[in-house]
Amino acid sequence: MKHTADNNTLETPEKSVAARREELLKKGFIGGAPKKKESKVIATETVPEKLAHPTLSRPMGPKARKLPSKKARFGQGQGTFFSQVEEAVPLQSEDKLVSRLKEAILEAQRKYHEHYLHGTYPREENGWFSLLRHRLFGQEKAESFSNIKASTLLQMIENLDNLFNDPNTRYQFHSFASYLLDEFNVLLKQESLSVKKPRAGEHYNASYWLEIRNELNGLLTEEAYMKSEYCG
């Protein structure tokens, strides 16, 4: 126990230690242990860097060999009408095309004739005047036309133009002209060309022949077309 001279009081050791500690705290010599800062770990997603050059992303073959890229053929997209047709359908000589047109005419005449003899190959339901009209007038005209003697494409086209543009030609469902245009569309379909048919319930007209004629011209080879009278 310590005796002080100021107030003549006794000071215990515990009290002396507490006072000394308070004095040191005020002067900054001692202090509480600093708190450890909690480190927060933020999970970040690793995003791969995008390749700057487009060819670097192409699939690679064995031994890092680049796969060959497709190259456009010379003149592709810039060629003539015939070069475009050549890739779509097999082209033909003038004689072969004329022969196929004659076959289509004969087939149309046969179906047209069979329909009025036996009712086969119907295109639509018959009207009350249909049988009379085509039996009396159409059959003879169709038979005469089927014996066409054209030997060149120009002669064939001229004969067909005359038929389809004749003011007496009818385009009812069971007319010879309609059967004939059907057969020409069969030919176009066989060659993967655009078919030109009216919508259900509608009739053909002369404009359908013009569209079909343009498609048929594309079946000729360029050489055959240039040599044909039709080109001149």
Digit-coded pLDDT (tens) for 166-194: 998 989 888 899 999 999 999 999 988 98
How confident is the model at residue 120, as a pLDDT?
79
Instruction: Give the whole-number percent of the chain exceeding pLDDT 70.
Output: 53
Give 110's Cβ-side CA count (13 Å radius): 7
Domain ranges of the chain: 90-227
How confident is the model at residue 180, as a pLDDT?
96
pTM tops 0.75: no
User: Does position 38 have pLDDT exceeding 80, yes or no?
Assistant: no
